[in-house]
Structure 1
Amino acid sequence: MDAAAADDDKKRRDKELDALRRKPALQPIPATEIGSFRLTPWQVLHTLGRSIALARRGAGRGLAEHWGSLKYSQALIGEPSAYMGLSAEGRETADYYKALQSSELGTGLALSVATQVLGRRYPHHFVSIIPADTALRAGWALTSRDKGHRSGYRYRPRFFAEVWRPGEPSRVFPIESKGNHSNAAASHDQLASASAHVEAVHVGAWNETPSLLFSTELPLEGPLTVHGLQALGKDGWLSDSAGSGNRDLDQQVEELNIYPGILPPSEEPEPGFHVQPQHYAWFRHVLARTFAAGLTAFAGDGDATVQYLTKRQGQRHFTGFAHAATGSVQDARQELLGVPFVGTDHVFRLNRTRVEAFSGVAEDLFTHLEAGRVQQYRDEVYARRDAWPHASWNSHWGGPVSVHPDGSVLAMRKLREHDRQA
């Protein structure tokens, strides 16, 4: 990766461009922090769907973004004793949509590994994954459409992982994930690029923000490989400090206009985004409510989602008109693996077969989110973090099921004949 970064810097110098500032002192993630764990294709789709629920891409206006993960329903294949890889359909799709498929499947796989790593590193904490662009927009203008002091810097991580437990400071890890259908050399190039993205956000002291970088290699033949690097650091802690104040997570977040730039010791600001001590409590507030917004969007409830976002974060994408086939309404209930869930459903075709998908949140937890009770949701979901069912198939439902510790669920099944007739 170092060689790939040096080669990229040389190309930039030849074009009279400045070299990128990259995360220093990167190292491999120890295998002991990953361990051995099993992952089903629908768990990957669930992770991907949760990650893009607030994506604001296309005409879906936010509410139906997560259904985009279902286009990969048959892209991955594996056996209980085998490594996961691309199916025949996944290989065929890769011929036409290489960049999109490798990026999105890479996201689902990388975030699964990141959650595993951080969960083992912090066994008594909860790990929340939050889209970085949405969180940053609460305090910074990222594009020309955003009001405020625009940074003009296009490098930033895709996600934040917040590692937290009630009543204690949380810790933030910027995460960048990429993917390719090529080989390890392509992953080295992607990791070199990712090192510039995670370096764009500092939480606390200069160059002390821990970060995770991933590039997922999805070859047309053989098992997929997730290449992972980490930057260790002593900071990233969102602790209460002088002037930060205590925060009621049930209250709305105020939108700030923080001047962009990272402040190194005794030097001119570097481009990027710097969360400093006076904003720790505010940023922890932003992360908690942005995470809640992702859950309510995943359950198809636009009204519940709006309350958690600022204007710049995309309130309007969850209100008003939606184009045909892109809407998502929270009006479905299912009991899966003995847990009552509320959410939204979707019917689509896999070749000639009609398939029903359901996404939602445990009913009792959703009641808190719908009413704006973020603190109570966090207290209860933390207490239940190890109590969720681990089965990946529900016989009564008739299909695969994925339940996350955040209380969300993704389930699929063939559409039953009596449902079709109804």
Structure 2
Amino acid sequence: MTLRHSSITLSVWLVSASAPGVGVDIESLVRSLSYQSLLALNSSDQLVDDVLRYAETNAKMREAYWHHKRLTPVDVGKGGMRTTPAQVLHELGVATTLLTASPLSQVARHWAAVRYCATLTRIHGRRLALTPDANEVVYHHKVTQSEQLGVGLALVVAKNLLRRQYRGWTFHAVDAEVALKAGFVDSGGAVESVSRTKKRPDYILLGHHATKTRRRMKIVILECKGTHGSPNFVHGQLARAAVQVEALTVGGSSPPSLMVASHLTQTGITAYVLDPPGDAELWSGDDEELDGLLSTTPADQFWRPRTAIPPRPEVRQTPTAALSPADEAAAEPQLADELPPGAPQVFDIPEHQRGWFTQILTRAVAATALLFAGNNAAASGYATPRQRGAEDPAFQPALFDLDPAWATSSAATFALPNGLSAEGTRHRAPLGRGRVLEVFRGVESRLYRELAEGQVSAYLRDAPSFFGRRAEPPADGSVYSFGRDGTVLVVRVLDSGG
């Protein structure tokens, strides 16, 4: 028996695995997560034309389409890129770690590694594709599956392309809501609601580069899409993404961005990529300057998003100009009922607050890694009061709130190949016939200690070295995924006494 519905609860799936012969199927399924597969990439002038044509055709119904960034194709090379299902699930698990606090959030953080482990496979030609099980779900579950797999695939694609473009840089994903929550409020003092900010991007990729004398930071805005529908549906998704990546400026300039829409089929997955240009650098300084910056705690800000300036249709390919901090301070804020139809809101980070934004993003990176490993208390220490939900919880749900003691998994040391180890949490679920499925997630031990002790600058510098020291996993059917951020995901089937 195989998984017939990606949204069935884990308990139902594992109980059904106790049927005769199922143990072998589960072990085979786990091993398949490590298979190197080809993920097809598509980016061209024709794709740009198709997206612009869709935006122009539908702008009368959705005026937000006039607010998009300039679109350019990306050099994706030939033949696509290599990845594994485990790497996609790993990226998804780290990126979705910052869930709203709940009594079972520790278990929920394992869910990405389990819920979708039967959705990706390698088909003839070694292409990455959906399994038949992934395709046999009802519509509303298929939408959720598309969104979640779209996140994992987009992060794999974006980080691969950025490593080629920026040699020696390491990129970390930060949920955009986390960063914006620390800076922006509405007229009533509460953080903007989802309905008012739904056109914001999904993630901010924080890039870090270290030399003997210099530390540099850059950001890239990432919007992730996924669909089971026709390829034409991708054009609409990218048209909407072009509006969402326009929603953040730093010092009056739009950062560079990537838009990735994954078309999910059983005959192969294709990621469609576009690359709106922008200003790349966020912050630079020496080791001492970065240590000093990251050793201080940033305060919540009380800025308000502004309404995007509607561009003229005939110049819609020109990026929307952002208000300067001085103009923003002088301008009268527009009320919600005065917004132009379809106009998105823009979140302007003032030029003199680049250091503050660097603090917010690096601390979110640290909190994400610690939460992935299960250390909620240390992660909470990296949050601002508003991110922790210290304000009115009716307006401000917590992102970093501690779990009840009964729901918190205890951290454990996990031996890795090549004599390394990781600190994190493991969950086991019975498969029947004396077998269990074990999922471990954590952070390499030295990097974990740096994060737990508040040494974020050292962590950023040391994380890439862990990836270079990783070794081939043991040939026992276990699946290991190592991240360049020092995170580790392990999935394996064991004897219940192991």
TM superposition score category, shorter chain reference:
0.7 to 0.9
Deviations 1:361-416 (A, max 9, x none): 0011101111111112112224x16514264x4336x4101000111000011132
Distance 1:109 1:102, change over 3 A: same
Opposite residue 450 of structure 2, the aligned amino acid is: H
Matched, 1:216 2:227: no
Deviation at 1:149? 11
Paired-residue identity, %:
27
Question: 2:348 maps to which residue?
Answer: 274
Question: 1:68 maps to which residue?
Answer: 111
Question: 2:135 maps to which residue?
Answer: 91
Matched, 1:341 2:456: no
Unaligned runs of 5+ residues in structure 2 are 1-50, 309-321, 334-343, 390-397
Question: 2:73 maps to which residue?
Answer: 28
Deviation at 1:154? 2.7
Question: 1:355 maps to which residue?
Answer: 437
Measure the CA separation in 2 of the matches of 1:192 and 1:118: 22
Matched, 1:365 2:365: no
Deviation at 1:171? 1.4
Opposite residue 352 of structure 2, the aligned amino acid is: Q
Contact 1:54–1:62, Cα closer than 8 Å, also in 2: no
Measure the CA separation in 1 of the matches of 2:133 and 2:195: 41
Measure the CA separation in 2 of the matches of 1:229 and 1:143: 35
Deviation at 1:217? 0.8
Question: 2:9 maps to which residue?
Answer: none
Q: Give aligned pairs, total.
A: 401
Counterpart pick for 2:460 among 378, 389, 396? 378
Question: 1:414 maps to which residue?
Answer: 493
Deviations 1:135-157 (A, max 9, x none): 11111137989358999443100
Per the alignment, in what secondary structure is the counterpart of residue 150 of structure 2?
Answer: helix
Opposite residue 212 of structure 1, the aligned amino acid is: L
Contact 2:364–2:382, Cα closer than 8 Å, also in 1: yes
Distance 1:409 1:328, change over 3 A: farther
Measure the CA separation in 2 of the matches of 1:142 and 1:133: 15
TM normalised by structure 1 equals 0.86
Measure the CA separation in 1 of the matches of 2:155 and 2:432: 29
TM normalised by structure 2 equals 0.73
Per the alignment, in what secondary structure is the counterpart of residue 260 of structure 2?
Answer: strand
After the TM superposition, list the runs of 4 or more consecutive aligned residues in structure 1 that deviate by more than 6 angstroms: 142-145, 148-151, 265-270, 350-353
Contact 1:61–1:318, Cα closer than 8 Å, also in 2: no
Distance 1:237 1:80, change over 3 A: farther
Per the alignment, in what secondary structure is the counterpart of residue 402 of structure 1?
Answer: strand
More helix by share: 2
Counterpart pick for 2:221 among 171, 174, 178? 174
Deviation at 1:95? 5.3
Question: 2:294 maps to which residue?
Answer: 249
Question: 2:394 maps to which residue?
Answer: none
Unaligned runs of 5+ residues in structure 1 are 13-17
Measure the CA separation in 1 of the matches of 2:105 and 2:220: 25
Matches within 5 A, 1:88-237: 88-93=132-137, 97-141=141-185, 146-147=190-191, 152-166=196-210, 167-206=214-253, 208-219=254-265, 221-233=266-278, 235-237=279-281
Deviation at 1:105? 0.5
Per the alignment, in what secondary structure is the counterpart of residue 491 of structure 2?
Answer: strand
Greater relative contact order (Cα < 8 A, sep 6+): 2
Contact 2:444–2:466, Cα closer than 8 Å, also in 1: no
Opposite residue 152 of structure 2, the aligned amino acid is: G
Deviation at 1:317? 4.8
Distance 1:97 1:411, change over 3 A: same
Contact 2:121–2:128, Cα closer than 8 Å, also in 1: yes
Deviation at 1:165? 1.4
